[in-house]
Amino acid sequence: MQFEQFVLANEPVIRLGFFLGVFAVVAVWEVLAPQRTLILSKPLRWASNLGLVALNTVVLRLFFPMAAVGLAAFCADKGWGLLNHFQVPAWAAVPLAVVAMDFVIWLQHVMVHAVPLFWRLHRVHHADVDYDLTTGSRFHPLEIVLSMSIKLATVTLLGAPVVAVLVFEVVLNAAAMFNHGNIRLPAGVDQALRWCIVTPDMHRVHHSVEEDETNSNFGFNLPWWDRLFGTYRAQPRAGQLGMTIGLHGHTDTKEVARLDGMLLMPFKGEVEGYAINRHT
């Protein structure tokens, strides 16, 4: 109980600390062992992508004053949720909740590709013509609100423990920066890691301009769901160095690399291709 109180009191500091630490490690790694040569100016992209992160943080605080860990504590106090109702011990409830929440995130990711309205929002993430650790946090504010709504509903339904929610959020955030990193791993290490975590080479396939490659490798953290449900693709046809990152028809720097362009993108043009149920 004391540890849970510590988590509740220090959740923002804990998350920020892990974010800054992992960000620094992956940023240095990208300099020392880059996988691909980037196209656009890094200061321009980083200013826009991280500007979107700052904006999303403000939006979440405005729309959801109670963070996910706070809701988890509230549900535990009220006895809400499956794990609380059946009084599952913490040693089992924490890993069960983390894995279950990861599966929900995978389902959500498939959903934003399958529903054209949501794909409009998710295009902002995919329109980045380069691929590095800041791409992992590049989401439209409306998609962030949708994602948080699903997360809070999941926490309530599961009755996820406070510790599980914090672990999930920290690990997911760290994994997103790692697997979006422009970093090179030895082939053998990459293949071994793919059985327990999504690697940069695995997730980079998902950011290909080719529609069938975009609609694969939906996992952000655990790689098992793509293997189980048949959406796993080992490599892009053109190879990791030859593949093109981004979206067909979205190459204007003002749209894909400036904050105002990214915010307006969902409201422009028709949804053609890419969305799973709009296959050509």
Give the pLDDT of residue 123. Answer: 94
Express as a percent the part of the chain with pLDDT over 90.
86
Q: What is the mean pLDDT of residues 231-243?
A: 96
Encode burial over 51-66: b for 16+ CB neighbours within 10 A, e otherwise. bbeebbeeebeeebee
Burial-class residue 198 by CB neighbours within 10 Å (0-12, 13-18, 19+): buried
pLDDT of residue 277: 60
Using 50, 70 and 90 to split pLDDT, how confident is the model at 1? low
pLDDT at 143 over 70: yes
Residue 45 scores a pLDDT above 70: yes
Q: Which residue has the higher pLDDT, 12 or 200?
A: 200
pLDDT at 188: 96
Q: How far apart are CA 32 and CA 109, in angstroms?
A: 31
Q: What single letter denotes the amino acid at residue 213?
A: E
pTM of the shown model? 0.93
> By the 8 A CB rule, do 202 and 221 touch?
no
Asked whether residue 280 carries a pLDDT value surpassing 70, the answer given is: no
Q: What does the pLDDT look like over 166-192, one tens digit per residue?
A: 999 999 999 999 999 999 999 999 999
pLDDT band at residue 223 under the 50/70/90 scheme: very high
**Amino acid at site 92:** A
Q: What is the mean pLDDT of the chain?
A: 93
In this model, does residue 156 exceed pLDDT 50? Answer: yes
* pLDDT for 36 beyond 50: yes
Q: Specify the pLDDT at position 103.
A: 98
pLDDT band (50, 70, 90) for residue 63: confident
**How would you class 47 by CB atoms within 10 Å of its CB: exposed for 0-12, middle for 13-18, buried for 19 or more?**
middle
User: For 132-171, b where at least 16 C-beta lie within 10 A, e where not — what string?
Assistant: bbbbbbbbbbbbbbbbbebbbebbbebbbbbbbbbbbbbb
Task: Please give the C-alpha separations between residue 274 and each of 34, 47, 112, 143, 168, in angstroms, as whole numbers.
Answer: 28, 27, 11, 17, 29
| pLDDT tens per residue across span 71-105 | 999 999 999 999 999 999 999 999 999 999 999 99
Of the pLDDT bands very low, low, confident and very high (cuts 50, 70, 90), residue 142 is very high
- pLDDT number for residue 52: 96
- Contact residues for 132 (Cβ-Cβ < 8 A; gap 6+): 30, 38, 42, 45, 180, 181, 182
What are the pLDDT digits (tens) for 251-269?
899 999 999 999 999 998 7
Residue 276 confidence (pLDDT) above 90 = no
pLDDT in tens, 69-78: 999 999 999 9
pLDDT at residue number 201: 98
